[in-house]
Structure 1
């Protein structure tokens, strides 16, 4: 079982953290500028995150493997072509590729956990049909806290070294039940409630059951898309709003249900989880203006018209990436391989934009990354197969992201990481002009070796109050090294 594999890994992970603190804890690894603090912490390396590392040139790597490499080694469903999200979840939790037998057993365990308690069903069914689906999702996941094993055992008293065990139990429950919650929300909001909804098929995977319960079970293409979509969106480092929120709330030892419910609130924000909807609206608008079969020259004209009006091309550019997002490439290739998708005018525009938009954006000169991100393709594929309720797209994102966020939640408890508590600065008390360099805080202190948490990491603006115990200096938030040596960087980032 996944628990048995993790039990083997726990001593190794704890030893690795101890070695990191012993060998590197007092070393300064970088500096932080005021611009970074004002700019939302962009580029500040400040937290540990195990399952994935985002490289600006290579894109996301899960435990060192690229997306194409994961597609090669992770098991698929019987007769399927796309890697199973359950296999990816196992991989994120353990760092080990599951065998076919392990993947099957894990799939069966998760689907067994996917049934909802009656009280959660009643809560969801009582919500107004007009309530945004993400608000319903937040409520449904938070309500599962009623049965939290972590919360119950913490209240009863347990050893800190054992926190990870009930954390794992809750995390598996949360991931499995989130798919069923999402399906129930869809049926209540867009269909006839629970009338005629098929029961969970215990012989199938989570993605199939989700698709089947919302009326798409007979569409082989949609089921395979949802499998790929969920596997690709599981994790994208720890600094994005939803992942960081789950980590932050979890650092207070809130249980996985409360932690991920909070993360969903962040995902619901228009700057985080709405991007693929904006891309789809842009493409549909382009289709209305240019028709179903526009030439590349016409598309280039449309792009320039959009840019010259002060708007952006949604789905292009990324905060970190400087190459095409490999998640986009996986989805784009999925569409190209399937004739019914490749001939869809909406998807054709996705493909044509990929060919011409980077050149226009480079010539325009106002973006560091003119290449497509994952949102440039995901919405058009969901739309093609008939999932046309835009506001629900973020819910599908949320079912996927639960796997990465909660895999790290388990690792946080394995490592015994302290509560997160960075130092805030007031905009009314700027840093001293006498020093252009930041004061570096020892890594060992940030990780709790001497003061219980990252108390000195200065990385956000807070105007309401300022502690006078310490003088106000430039931000000094530390994190794993940006060494050119990939091996060294991975050791520091992933340990």
Structure 2
């Protein structure tokens, strides 16, 4: 890096850091977080509700087992019912999030057909994906491909709800195809032959078919469908959904708004947590001699928290959540699915290690930080993907493939609500600074 640019970076570090005492004194909600870590309420939504606390009659919050609702429906009930009826449920969840209502059989079949017929990409879009064959950043490749779809829309800038609905449904249908093609191009170094989407398969089946070249067995397909259901929506407060809502409030177009969501999810503080869990577990597997020795595991987790092991961050990945403290309902579902899958794959010893790490990590964090935490949705999802043979480069894009349903629903809701988001910032400086003519400034280097 150029020495002068290094100097500029040093000045940025010097002047852009804010004194925590100043933040406290001015009662600033940095990161839109309250002092207890909960999110500042900035909007209202009918799409997703996340419950981790309940308030008593004195207004004091108390942790409770986590609950997640899509348009008022308990996600655990959705998953149980879909499993009981032995069908795929992601498409129904997309319909529910967009409309606020559960589809009847005829409406669901029609909607499934609309999604299926919109999966294919224009030839020029495929060429753009091939052009990015050397891009090993799969989220960057997804961002570029989504942005390119703007040129294939006859009315891309429209914010009329009918047009936005058409665009969102189109993107929800095409995300699996884009992600599969991006990966295949990278895997095959640009020499791949694209597998066309299969109109008779569900979203879950079709994606696995496009990356592997064969239709998955029923157990894997239905498990992947559940993973998609559980990642489809999580309220308006998560970073990517809030980003989509913020830019949508300015009346930017659908492609720009969804690209903003992709960009947010690409940030390592939001997406990529399940990849981090996998790297952490690789490290734990390599350094724990006896996977059944809970004392050895616990001591190693303490080293991770003390920044003496792992990646040096002091974080145990997949543990803790901004809202859930007692339990994450998504994690509880995936934990049992991971247990079943591990038995089928002959990897129960690995599952048992995951279970011990999750349980002991909660204890270690409580002792170290005095915080009540629980494993989150990312703790087992990467392990499940690994057992499916899905490469790690696809973990975050798969998150986007599911969450684009929630982004779309929130975009439409934000446009209908019709208020430009315009928060306020206060200055960290005390008064004005006297401007100095260039000829009288001291040399700074």
Q: Which TM-score band applies after superposition, normalised by the shorter structure?
A: 0.7 to 0.9
Q: Residue 60 of structure 1 aligns with which residue?
A: 68
Using the TM superposition, give the Cα deviation of residue 107 of structure 1 relative to its aligned residue in structure 2, in angstroms: 1.4
Q: Residue 316 of structure 1 aligns with which residue?
A: 319
Q: Residue 103 of structure 2 aligns with which residue?
A: 98
Q: Secondary structure at the match of 1:237?
A: coil
Question: Is contact 1:347-1:381 (8 Å) kept?
Answer: no
Structure-2 change in CA distance of 1:218 and 1:141 (3 Å): same
Q: Could you state the TM-score of these two structures normalised by the residue count of structure 2?
A: 0.80
In structure 2, which of residues 345, 349, 352 is the aligned counterpart of residue 348 of structure 1? 352
Structure 2 Cα separation of the partners of residues 382 and 403 of structure 1: 20
Q: Secondary structure at the match of 1:424?
A: coil
Structure 1 Cα separation of the partners of residues 33 and 297 of structure 2: 36
Question: Is contact 1:233-1:401 (8 Å) kept?
Answer: yes
State whether structure 2 residue 113 is matched by structure 1 residue 108: yes
In structure 1, which of residues 366, 377, 383 is the aligned counterpart of residue 380 of structure 2? 377
Question: Is contact 1:133-1:391 (8 Å) kept?
Answer: yes
In structure 2, which of residues 47, 56, 64 is the aligned counterpart of residue 51 of structure 1? 47
Q: Secondary structure at the match of 2:400?
A: helix
Unaligned runs of 5+ in 2: 1-23, 53-63, 309-313, 434-445
Q: Secondary structure at the match of 1:53?
A: strand
Using the TM superposition, give the Cα deviation of residue 93 of structure 1 relative to its aligned residue in structure 2, in angstroms: 1.4
1:119-268 aligned at under 5 Å gives the runs 119-148=124-153, 151=156, 153=158, 163-191=160-188, 193=190, 195-215=192-212, 217-220=214-217, 221-268=219-266
Q: Could you state the TM-score of these two structures normalised by the residue count of structure 1?
A: 0.72
Q: Residue 443 of structure 1 aligns with which residue?
A: none
Deviation digits for residues 305-345 of structure 1 (CA, Å, limit 9, x no counterpart): 22233622111111121222111111111112332257344
Question: Is contact 1:278-1:314 (8 Å) kept?
Answer: yes
Structure-2 change in CA distance of 1:421 and 1:150 (3 Å): farther
Structure-2 change in CA distance of 1:224 and 1:197 (3 Å): farther
Structure-2 change in CA distance of 1:257 and 1:76 (3 Å): farther
Q: Residue 396 of structure 2 aligns with which residue?
A: 394
Deviates more, 1:218-227 or 1:277-286: 218-227
Q: Secondary structure at the match of 1:425?
A: coil
Question: Is contact 1:234-1:400 (8 Å) kept?
Answer: yes
Deviates more, 1:63-72 or 1:237-246: 63-72
Using the TM superposition, give the Cα deviation of residue 199 of structure 1 relative to its aligned residue in structure 2, in angstroms: 2.1
Structure 1 Cα separation of the partners of residues 279 and 421 of structure 2: 38
Q: Residue 58 of structure 2 aligns with which residue?
A: none
Structure 2 Cα separation of the partners of residues 261 and 152 of structure 1: 14
Q: CA RMSD in A?
A: 2.6
Structure with the bigger RCO (C-alpha within 8 Å, sep 6+) is 1
Structure-2 change in CA distance of 1:288 and 1:116 (3 Å): same
Using the TM superposition, give the Cα deviation of residue 144 of structure 1 relative to its aligned residue in structure 2, in angstroms: 1.2
Structure 1 Cα separation of the partners of residues 327 and 346 of structure 2: 20
Structure 2 Cα separation of the partners of residues 209 and 98 of structure 1: 22
Structure 1 Cα separation of the partners of residues 75 and 346 of structure 2: 22
